[in-house]
Amino acid sequence: MISLSNRINSLAESETLAMAQKSRELKSRGFDVINLSLGEPDFFTPEFVKEAGINGIKENHSFYTPVNGYLELRQSICKKLERDNKLRYTPEQIVVTTGAKQALYNALMCLVNPGDEVIIAAPYWVSYRDMVQLAEGQAVYVYAGIEDDFKIKPHQLEAAITPKTRVFMYSSPCNPTGSVYTESELQELAKVLEKYPQITIIADEIYEHITFSGVHASIAAFDAIRDRVVIINGVSKGFAMTGWRLGYLAAHQDIAKACTKLQGQITSGTSSITQRATIAAMDANPSVTAHMLEKFRERRDLLMELVRDIPCFIINKPEGAFYLFPNVKAYFGKSDGDYHIKDAPDLCMYLLEKAQVATVAGDAFGDKDCIRISYATSNQLIIEAVKRIKECLARLK
């Protein structure tokens, strides 16, 4: 019998990845599954980015890079932050990571001591909870429901702060709700955080480029807390580069140094070729990805329109990312005679087995009444998926 650590035994599997794997397996067994579980753009990486990667190979960028990333790339990221976000950073404040996931993990491991409290705005992206657990921190959830467009209020944040609070973290645009905090909403949160200098803010901005208003606000814009903000971003979503594995963080130099030390012991940084390709992505005019944003907007509108016909789905209007997060509570306690739906995981399994549409239960994101539907797929598949979902749900009495 192999004995594994308590750390890994108590860690949950990533539910987004697990659902995607389940749907791949069903597909490979011949089932016609429509996978709306994984948050991954269905576009190909832009040609000019691919070419920069190919050139990186041809030009023999095959050696270890600096642990925090090529200087040229960190300079390009600084230029991007200034151009798009009006934020000034130096290359020493940037750490290039193996996906935004590792940027988040680095930050938590460097900031959180065992027992420290980490306030997470809920609904939250699934891995926050488990990363906090790995850092031996204590997650404290501040929840906002659909009636508040899933956005927390300053007084809620303040009520959750204790002397043990070390970190506050959130994503905007938000995975799983698609909600986007406006500049004035962030300012209100910043005013609270200003009073608590022991708190560092982890602002996950990975969906920055998928904001339908075209305006992305960063909490790092507020000078009073600026030094305590860790911006998380990357190319997975905005540039359709999920498999390339590149994220980055921008933070106070001491935090950046700590994160570099950490990844120097575990990854030595991300792939050199990916870094060469990302220089091209960072240097490009943001309009190069506008066609993807337009498609996502079209799909959001289509999905919202179709879902309105499903009597018991309650929805908000997502202003960013590519998820819809309907409240499906009205189906709990119903049955099609054979399948009894107690909760959201049951409903997701029912939809997977009977409609062959993969979604993710809200439990993974801190809201037991919802399910997450990713619309990063074609109009045709969205139409077919909703048709199947509707037919299956109509059988529940």
CB of 206 vs ligand PMP, minimal distance in Å = 4
In contact, 16 and 364? CB cutoff 8 Å: yes
DSSP 286: G
Element (H, E) at 166: strand 165-171
Binds 247, which of ligand GLU, ligand PMP, none (CB < 5 to 8 A, cut-off by type)? ligand PMP
Residue entry with tokens 């998926």 = 385
Contacts of 394 (CB under 8 A, 6+ apart): none
Of 37-45, 87-95, 112-120, 269-277, which segment contacts ligand GLU by CB under 6 A? 37-45
Name which position in 33, 39, 132, 190 contacts ligand GLU (CB under 6 A): 39
Tally Cβ neighbours within 10 Å of residue 111. 23
Taking CB under 6 A as the criterion, which residues in 148-177 touch ligand GLU? Answer: 175
Q: Does 38 bind ligand GLU (CB under 6 A)?
A: yes
User: Which residue has tokens 């997701």?
Assistant: 348
CA 216 – CA 110 distance, rounded (Å): 27
Options 11-19, 133-141, 209-217, 282-290: segment touching ligand GLU (CB under 6 A): 11-19
Stretch that binds ligand PMP, among 47-55, 56-64, 98-106, 364-372 (CB under 6 A): 98-106
Is the Cβ–Cβ distance between 281 and 137 less than 8 Å? no
**Helix ranges, the chain (H):** 6-9, 15-28, 47-58, 71-85, 99-111, 126-134, 154-160, 183-194, 253-266, 272-283, 290-307, 344-350, 379-394
The encoded tokens of residue 230 equal 């860790």
Burial class (CB in 10 A: 0-12, 13-18, 19+), 189: buried
At 189, which amino acid appears?
Answer: L
| Closer of 14 and 335 to ligand PMP (Cβ) | 14
Identify the helix (H) or strand (E) that includes residue 362.
none
DSSP 327: B
Q: According to CB under 6 A, which residues from 242 to 301 bind ligand PMP?
A: 242, 247
Here's the x/- map for ligand PMP, 123-162, by CB under 6 A: it reads as --x-------------------------------------
Does the bond joining 176 to the residue before it have cis omega, within 30 degrees of 0? yes
Which span sits near ligand PMP by CB under 6 A: 96-104, 150-158, 190-198, 287-295?
A: 96-104
Q: Which does 38 bind (CB under 5 to 8 A by kind): ligand PMP, ligand GLU, none?
A: ligand GLU
For ligand PMP, which residue has the nearest CB?
A: 99
Give me the 174-193 binding string for ligand PMP, x by CB under 6 A, dash otherwise: -x------------------
Interaction with ligand PMP in 224-253: which residues (CB under 6 A)?
A: 234, 236, 242, 247
Minimum CB separation of residue 169 from ligand PMP in Å reads 10
Q: What residues line the site for ligand GLU (CB under 6 A)?
A: 14, 16-17, 38-40, 127, 175
Q: What residues line the site for ligand PMP (CB under 6 A)?
A: 39, 99-101, 125, 171, 175, 204, 206, 234, 236, 242, 247
